[in-house]
């Protein structure tokens, strides 16, 4: 088992190195960061001096190795645009992104599961058909469009919810900020959470529906009915419980995507999270932020996958046997 | 405090008057972020305008952009033009409580020229600032400079004591390894002070009750948030969550005006959008014409000029919000009298191309930014269509500004054959245009012509430019500037297109003066 974990850890490290290398190769094509730092009428000699001081004159390999060396010591450099350490910028923005991701995951589960159950049990009812249609919209409409539509409906036309930002936030501890303790913070969370969670919600709804239909056909459900159990107990006690195993797996894996793909939602709602920071960094060619964000996201995916692998091994004895045989 | 007690006293007597002067909070959203508070780090209009609230220069510019006294009450220039004596305002305090004196001016003059500053051009490198007494400073120049104080309105004066106490004596350079105190805190003499600043998220300004003169605005507080998405920014204005936005995308102007609770302030901006052509290489980098450079032939340049239907660009692409220009500078900064654009004429253009030896046109690449100026990408597409009518096939390369500037600027080796660019002279003066974008770039040791991407060169213009720099007689100087523009316009060094328009979205509750340099300044704002 230990050998397995070590091997997986080593592979994870390789993946992260590969991500860093690909990112660094891409940075050569995003443009010249120095032109974003200075005005157009800055003397060329001064521009050259800045480029030299940032180490941008060095070959990519040297820049890459220097970056890896610093990253290994958890030094991610200073943002070109803000002149602040990238670590503190990402740390400042992380609570916003995590809170949004958590709320939209919660929304997708809390709404997706009941909708999936309903559409499976009352397949021919008109409400189930509406749910199916809504889920099609959720899967096919791009996130930014949903966001803008929601803003126009709930902010501009009805004036119920704010169109941008996080509302008032409360500081907890030295760096965490939360919008969950203020009314304006809750209001501000609603639209972005729905926008970000809509795709996951439809995914979960469809998954629950398909699994539920599958389970309802199995023998033990027939047996349960034959025993004269109440329909309610059969549906929720037996069928739904067995449906949830794959749902939990998918939802867990999707949490990574929610965090990583919050970029669009955060931009539409000017949500002060890491995704918005990253997108602005791409526009401004702020290489330290881009590099650190990409590393962070790859770390997130690598660790989620690692945990899932380990959990599988823990859950499934057959898998454990193969691991041991290696 | 004094304001509040005055208000309370007034309330007892005249409740109505106090109501009218009631302190207000204004919310403002801009497309761009406020990154660093260090006033010598990023030389960019939006940042300079933000920092113009906590900070001030020795001079200021009024609503009409005229130079006014600010921290310097007055100044005298010696007859030979080599010495400027500045008389500083007395009794001014920084927001941190320090007295403003000559030491702060001398300190700021050194800091602004130190490595890492992006404002080194504000003060000539070889000039000396000498303290005469606590409120008098002499500036000793090596050559006369009639526009010495032209950019001092955005050379913000910092407190020496404050900078020394907080380890912020050096400007925050791009390659800073430790965060600088000055990039997160501000201490100026301006009408508003910074209450809190979260970079890229939110900045709160509070009224400076100890300001040295009455503040025109009735605002108590300004809350600034960047909103980068155009649709969201407009929605926030329409829903009343913010009071002022900049910019309003041209396609949304009608909708904002029709909304009833907000309107768009439009006006001419000082930036000139123009086309440039590579006239320096013997063979164009991106063209099917080999062995020669068609742009070296003035007939080709004129043919391009006459093929462009600027009125169509104005009405279709800019939705009426542009001012076609015959000069490389805005009419607010130098009179356009005596200059007109050559007539739009497809036949004449075809004829000129045929005379130059290209009866069936030729092919050339064009570089264009698509996120830098108002509808820049669409302007280029329109030009591609217009030139196609005279037989010139343009291969358009429209890209984000990051890639665009990396390719076309000096640092990228001027790798362009035909391009679109915009320019606002930082000094608001023609010398900057004649030196930076019209001047020859043939001398590698001089900074002249560094942004002359097409490499147009006229020694006669350069000679005039040198004289313009030191000429103190305004009438004579203007005559020379006109002559220099005449030469470069006759030789079609560039094809000026237009000055784009400003578009600020303002709630009907807010009154705000619009300055043509696109500085959104809230000490001119009042809110009901």
The answer to whether the CB atoms of A54 and B174 lie below 8 A apart is yes
Q: Between these two residues, B17 and A67, which has the higher pLDDT value?
A: A67
- Do the Cβ atoms of B227 and A164 come within 8 Å? yes
Q: Which residues of B touch A184 (CB under 8 A)?
A: none
pLDDT for position B9: 45
Cβ neighbours of A155 in B, within 8 Å: 235-236, 239, 241
Does residue B363 fall inside a structural domain? yes
Do the beta carbons of residue A205 and residue A116 sit within 8 Å? yes
Residue A320: partners with Cβ closer than 8 Å, 6 or more residues away: A1, A313, A314
The residue among A121, A115, A112 whose CA lies nearest residue A235 is A121
B463 and B519 share one domain: no
Q: Over chain A, what is the mean pLDDT? A: 85
Phi and psi, residue B304, nearest 5°: -60, -45
Question: Is the C-alpha dihedral spanning B317, B319, B325, B331 positive or negative?
Answer: negative
In a shared domain, residues B207 and B308: no
Interface contact flag, A30 B227, Cβ < 8 Å: no
Q: Do B202 and B294 belong to one domain?
A: no
Task: Give B 84-113 residues with CB within 8 A of chain A.
Answer: none
Domain residue spans of chain A: 94-283
Q: List the single best residue of A51, A164, A263 to mutate versus B (max B Cβ within 10 A).
A: A164
Peptide bond into B338 cis (omega under 30): no
The three-point CA angle A167-A171-A172 to 5° equals 135
Co-location of B496 and B523 in the same domain: no
Residues in chain B: 528
Q: How far is B22 from chain A (nearest CA, A)?
A: 24
Q: Looking at chain A from residue 209 to 268, which residues have their Cβ under 8 Å from any Cβ of chain B?
A: 267-268
Q: Tell me, yes or no, whether B253 lies in a domain.
A: no
| B391 within 8 A of B303, measured Cβ to Cβ | no
**Looking at the structure, do residues B98 and B152 belong to the same domain, yes or no?**
yes
CA distance B358 to chain A (A): 35
Quote the pLDDT of residue B528. Answer: 86
Cβ–Cβ contact B228 with A under 8 A: yes
- On the CB side of B88, CA atoms within 13 Å amount to 26
Q: What is the pLDDT of residue A321?
A: 63
Using a CB–CB cutoff of 8 Å, tell me whether B31 touches chain A.
Answer: no
pLDDT at position A43 is 78
Domain that holds residue B476: 271-501
Whether residue B363 contacts residue B351, with contact meaning beta carbons closer than 8 Å, is answered with: no
Contacts of B464 (CB under 8 A, 6+ apart): B434, B480, B481, B483, B484, B487
CB spacing of A32 vs B412 below 8 angstroms: yes
- The predicted-structure confidence for B300-334, as pLDDT tens digits, reads as follows 999 999 999 999 999 999 988 999 999 999 998 99
- B235 Cβ under 8 Å from any chain A Cβ: yes
**Spatial separation of the C-alpha atoms in residues B241 and B467, rounded to whole Å:** 53
Flag whether B402 is in a domain: yes
B479 and B515 assigned to the same domain: no
- Percentage of residues in chain A having pLDDT higher than 90: 22
Sign of CA dihedral A40, A42, A44, A47: negative
Q: Which pLDDT belongs to residue A218?
A: 86
CATH number at residue B67: 3.40.190.10
Q: Is residue B245 part of a domain?
A: no
Whether residues B428 and B521 share a domain: the answer is no
Q: What is the ipTM of this complex?
A: 0.83
pLDDT at A315: 66
Among A76-85, B133-142, B154-163, whose mean pLDDT is lowest? A76-85
Give the span between the Cα atoms of A265 and B313, in whole angstroms. Answer: 34
Average pLDDT of the residues in A149-176: 88
For B447, which residue in chain A has the nearest alpha carbon? A43
Nearest CA of chain A to the CA of B200: how many Å? Answer: 8
- Give the sign of the dihedral formed by CA B407, CA B408, CA B410, CA B415: positive
Read off the pLDDT of residues A295-321 as tens digits, 9 standing for 90 and up.
898 888 888 888 877 777 776 666 666
- Under DSSP, the state recorded for B152 is G
Residue A24 banded pLDDT, cuts 50, 70, 90: confident
The per-residue pLDDT of chain B, averaged, comes to 90
Q: How many domains does chain B have?
A: 2
Contact check, Cβ <8 Å, A35/B406: yes
Question: Measured between alpha carbons, how far is B189 from B212 in angstroms, rounded to an integer?
Answer: 8
Residue in B148, B96, B99, B94 with CA at minimum distance from that of residue B126: B148
Whether B414 and B518 map to the same domain: the answer is: no
Do B518 and B484 lie in one domain? The reply is no
Residue of B35, B400, B426 lying closest to A41 (CB–CB): B426
B-proximal residues of A, 41-60, CB under 8 Å: 41-51, 53-55
Mean pLDDT of A276-292: 89
Q: Which CATH class is domain A94-283?
A: mainly alpha
- Whether B204 and B289 map to the same domain: the answer is no
- Answer yes or no: is B353 within a domain: yes
Domain co-membership, B422 together with B448: yes
Percent of chain B clearing pLDDT 70 (strictly above): 94
Contact B163, B195 (CB under 8 A): no
Q: What is the pLDDT of residue B17?
A: 40
A167 at B interface, C-beta within 8 A: no
Q: Domain with B437 in it: what CATH number?
A: 3.10.105.10
Question: Does B280 share its domain with B207?
Answer: no
φ, ψ (nearest 5 deg) of residue A53: -65, -25
CB contact under 8 A, B228 and A276: yes
Q: Which residues pair with B196 in a beta bridge?
A: B204
Res A232: pLDDT: 82
Q: Can you give the pLDDT at residue B10?
A: 43
CB-facing half-sphere around the CA of B218: CA atoms within 13 A:
15
CB of A151 within 8 Å of a chain B CB? The answer is yes
Query: Which DSSP helix (H) or strand (E) runs through B205?
Result: strand B202-207
pLDDT value, residue A97: 93
pLDDT of res. B20: 41
């Amino acid at each position: 088992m230990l050998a397995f974990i070590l091997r997986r850890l080593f592979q994870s490290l390789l993946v992260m190195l590969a991500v860093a290398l690909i990112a660094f190769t891409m940075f050569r094509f995003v443009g010249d960061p120095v032109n974003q730092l200075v005005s157009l009428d800055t003397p060329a000699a001064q521009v050259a001096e800045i480029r030299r001081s940032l180490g941008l004159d060095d070959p990519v390999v040297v820049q890459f190795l220097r970056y890896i060396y610093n990253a290994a010591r958890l030094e991610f450099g200073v943002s070109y645009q803000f002149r602040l350490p990238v670590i503190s910028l990402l740390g400042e923005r992380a609570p916003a992104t995590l809170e949004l991701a958590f709320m939209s995951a919660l929304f997708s589960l809390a709404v997706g599961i009941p909708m999936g159950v309903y559409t499976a049990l009352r397949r021919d009812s008109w409400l189930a058909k509406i749910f199916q249609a809504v889920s099609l919209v959720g899967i096919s409409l791009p996130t930014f469009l949903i966001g803008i539509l929601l803003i126009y409906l709930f902010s501009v036309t009805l004036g119920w919810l704010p169109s941008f930002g996080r509302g008032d936030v409360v500081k907890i501890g030295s760096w965490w900020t939360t919008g969950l303790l203020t009314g304006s913070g809750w209001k501000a969370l609603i639209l972005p959470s729905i926008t970000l969670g809509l795709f996951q919600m439809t995914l979960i709804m469809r998954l629950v529906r398909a699994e539920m239909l599958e389970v309802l056909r199995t023998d033990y459900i027939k047996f349960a009915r034959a025993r004269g159990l109440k329909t309610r107990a059969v549906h929720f006690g037996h069928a739904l419980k067995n449906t949830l195993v794959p749902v939990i797996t998918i939802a867990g894996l999707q949490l990574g995507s929610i965090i990583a793909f919050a970029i669009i939602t955060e931009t539409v709602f000017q949500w002060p999270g890491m995704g918005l920071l990253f997108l602005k960094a791409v526009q401004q060619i702020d290489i330290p932020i881009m590099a650190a964000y990409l590393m962070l996201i790859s770390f997130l995916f690598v660790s989620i996958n690692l945990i899932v692998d380990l959990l599988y091994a823990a859950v499934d004895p057959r898998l454990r046997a193969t691991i041991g045989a290696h | 405090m004094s304001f509040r007690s005055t208000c309370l006293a007034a309330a007892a007597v005249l409740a109505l008057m106090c109501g009218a002067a009631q302190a207000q909070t204004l919310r403002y959203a801009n497309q761009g972020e406020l990154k660093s508070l260090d006033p010598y780090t990023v030389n960019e209009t939006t940042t300079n305008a933000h920092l113009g609230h906590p900070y001030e220069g020795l001079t200021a510019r009024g609503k009409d952009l005229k130079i006014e006294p600010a921290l310097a009450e007055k100044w005298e220039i010696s007859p030979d033009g080599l010495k400027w004596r500045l008389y500083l305002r007395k009794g001014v305090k920084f927001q941190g409580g320090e007295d403003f004196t000559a030491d702060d001016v001398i300190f700021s003059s050194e800091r602004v020229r130190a490595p890492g500053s992006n404002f080194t051009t504000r003060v000539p490198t070889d000039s000396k600032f000498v303290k005469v007494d606590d409120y008098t400073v002499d500036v000793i120049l090596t050559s006369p400079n009639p526009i010495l104080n032209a950019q001092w309105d955005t050379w913000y004066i910092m407190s020496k004591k404050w900078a020394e106490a907080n380890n912020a004596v050096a400007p925050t350079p791009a390659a800073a390894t430790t965060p600088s105190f000055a990039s997160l805190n501000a201490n100026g003499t301006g009408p508003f002070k910074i209450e809190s600043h979260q970079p890229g998220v939110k900045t709160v300004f509070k009224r400076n009750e100890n300001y040295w003169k009455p503040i025109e605005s009735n605002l108590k507080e300004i809350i600034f948030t960047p909103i980068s998405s155009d649709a969201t920014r407009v929605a926030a204005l329409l829903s009343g969550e913010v009071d002022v936005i900049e910019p309003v995308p041209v396609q949304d102007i009608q909708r904002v005006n029709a909304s009833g609770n907000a309107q768009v302030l439009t006006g001419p901006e000082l930036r000139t959008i123009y086309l440039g052509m590579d006239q320096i290489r013997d063979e164009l980098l991106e063209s099917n014409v080999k062995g020669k450079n068609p742009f070296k032939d003035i007939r080709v340049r004129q043919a391009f000029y006459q093929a462009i239907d600027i009125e169509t660009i104005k009405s279709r692409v800019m939705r009426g919000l542009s001012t076609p220009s015959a000069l490389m500078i805005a009419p607010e900064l130098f009179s356009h009298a005596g200059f007109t654009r050559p007539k739009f004429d497809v036949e004449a253009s075809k004829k000129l191309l045929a005379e130059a030896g290209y009866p069936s046109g030729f092919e050339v690449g064009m570089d264009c930014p698509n996120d830098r100026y108002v509808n820049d990408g669409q302007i280029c597409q329109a030009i591609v269509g217009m030139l196609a009518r005279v037989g010139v096939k343009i291969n358009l390369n429209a890209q984000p500004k990051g890639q665009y500037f990396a390719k076309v600027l000096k640092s990228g080796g001027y790798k362009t054959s035909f391009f679109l660019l915009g320019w606002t002279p930082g000094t608001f003066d023609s010398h900057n245009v004649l030196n930076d974008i019209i001047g020859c770039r043939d001398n590698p040791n001089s900074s002249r012509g560094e942004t002359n991407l097409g490499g147009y060169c006229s020694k006669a213009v350069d000679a005039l430019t040198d004289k313009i720099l030191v000429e103190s007689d305004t009438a004579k100087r203007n005559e020379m500037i006109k002559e220099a523009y005449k030469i470069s316009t006759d030789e079609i060094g560039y094809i000026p297109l237009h000055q784009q328009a400003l578009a600020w979205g303002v709630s009907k509750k807010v009154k705000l003066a619009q300055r043509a340099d696109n500085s959104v300044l809230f000490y001119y704002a009042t809110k009901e």
